[in-house]
Amino acid sequence: MRLTDEHLAIWEREGYVVVEDFLTGDELQAVFENFLCYFPTADDFYRHRPRYRALNEGQMAGVREFPFSGTALNDTITHPEVISFAERVLGTTDVHCTHGQIWAKYAGASDYHQDLHCDYPTNTLVYPREDGKWRQVLALLYLTDVTADLGPTGIVSRRDSAPFDKRYWPPGRPKKDFPELYAREVPVLARAGSLLLYSMSTWHRGTSMLAREGCRFSMTSVYRHAGYEWMGWRAWPREALQPAMKAWLVHATPRQRQVIGFPAPGHPYWTAETLEGTACRYPKMDMTPYREAFRAAAVRAVAPATVMA
């Protein structure tokens, strides 16, 4: 287990935890190579900068969202270890991924400075709760080394931010108004493959890139209890016709599909008609787990009741 109960205890106490080397070796390399389908390496960016002028048009210019071509990025957003961590936080296996994106930052391309903030304004319609099933889990995976001059995430622990947490709105904290909060901030310096897990109420920010050249590649995803529709970012069915989504749904496991809202094997949604229709829609998808669960449920439904003596 890469994400242990000790990591969970730190997350509960501090509001975040850094997991070094969550991805390594071939797994990390596959995700990095998939990332390069969307953005250039630092060397290529600076060598052919006019080609990539769009990446100079604001700090969000380097953002792309799920689903992705290839499988490594999509599989990491639905990584079983991250899902298991979210299950333990939320106390349920009924976990839904609401958001997945990649972000490329290049030194000198834009000003990446942000004020300390919480992420809930764009992830829930209400004020966040930080207890049990009402919480959300955010995962930030670094795909390149993060040094002090390459825009590390600044973050404040739950204990250190407590005196500032009850000023409900706005959710941003400019340094000129909250110098004591910034004094408690620590930078997340980490090797490529490291994972930052935090909550919707954790104060954090993107910092400026001070290096003359260099890049910071990362991936962000968000998880919540399924069925709580006031929390979310994207409705995945709107992406259903994208070739990348269709290809990944065919590739994914039933559990991975379930995490983005696809009915699990054994779900009451499945009927003979919906099974056949879905098989026609995705001819290369292995429908065996869904059909077997449907047949098993049908057998149980017609089995005679046990007579109690």
Determine how many CB atoms are found less than 10 A away from the CB of residue 172: 15
Residue whose entry in the numeric block shows the structure tokens 């110098």: 179
- pLDDT for residue 172: 87
Within 13 Å of residue 144, how many CA atoms lie on the same side as its CB? 22
Please give the C-alpha separations between residue 47 and each of 41, 50, 112, 213, in angstroms, as whole numbers. 10, 9, 21, 11
pLDDT tens sequence across 202-230? 999 999 999 999 999 999 999 999 999 99
The 10 Å Cβ neighbour count of residue 150 is 23
Report CA-CA distances (Å) from 219 to 60, 74, 142, 144, 166.
13, 10, 7, 11, 30
> Taking residues 171-199, what's their average pLDDT?
95
Residue-wise pLDDT for 115-136, tens only, equals 999 999 999 999 899 999 999 9
From the CB of residue 63, how many other CB atoms can be counted at a distance below 10 Å?
Answer: 15
Percent of the chain scoring above 70 in pLDDT: 96
What's the confidence (pLDDT) of residue 305? 54
* Residue 193's pLDDT band (cuts 50, 70, 90): very high
The share of the chain scoring above pLDDT 90, in percent, equals 86
Q: Name the average pLDDT for the chain.
A: 94
Contacts 24+ apart (CB under 8 A), 242-250: 242/67, 243/69, 244/67, 244/68, 244/69, 244/74, 245/67, 246/282, 247/69, 247/71, 248/67, 248/68, 248/71, 248/74, 249/282, 249/285, 250/282, 250/284, 250/285
Q: Is residue 192 scored above 70 in pLDDT?
A: yes
Q: Is the pLDDT of residue 307 over 50?
A: no
pLDDT band (50, 70, 90) for residue 196:
very high
Residue 188 has pLDDT above 60, yes or no: yes
pLDDT, tens digit, 9 for 90 and up, residues 130-163: 999 999 999 999 999 999 999 999 999 999 988 7
pLDDT band at 309 (very low <50, low <70, confident <90, very high): very low
pLDDT higher than threshold 50 for residue 282: yes
**pLDDT tens column, 23-59:** 999 999 999 999 999 999 999 999 999 999 999 998 8
Q: What is the pTM of this model?
A: 0.92
Of 176, 190, 168, 8, nearest to 88 (Cα)?
A: 8
pLDDT band at 166 (very low <50, low <70, confident <90, very high): low
- Residues 269 and 293: their CA atoms lie apart, in Å, by 12
Give the confidence band of 304 by pLDDT, cuts at 50, 70, 90. low
Q: 3-state SS of the chain?
A: CCCCHHHHHHHHHHCEEEECCCCCHHHHHHHHHHHCCCCCCHHHHHHCHHHHHHHHCCHHHHEEECCCCCCHHHHHHCCHHHHHHHHHHHCCCCEEEEEEEEEEEECCCCCCCCCEECCHHHCECCCCCCCHHHCEEEEEEECCCECCCECCEEECCHHHHHHHCCCCCCCEECCCCCHHHHHCCEEECECCCCEEEEECCCCEEECCECCCCCEEEEEEEEEEECCCCCECCCCHHHHCCCHHHHHHHHHCCHHHHHHCCCCCCCCCCCCHHHHHHHHHHCCCCCCHHHHHHHHHHHHHHHCCCCCCC
The alpha carbon of 223 is separated from its chain's Cα centroid by a whole number of angstroms, namely: 7
Cβ atoms of residues 117 and 39 within 8 Å: no
Domain chopping of the chain, boundaries: 5-235
CATH architecture of 5-235: Sandwich (2.60)
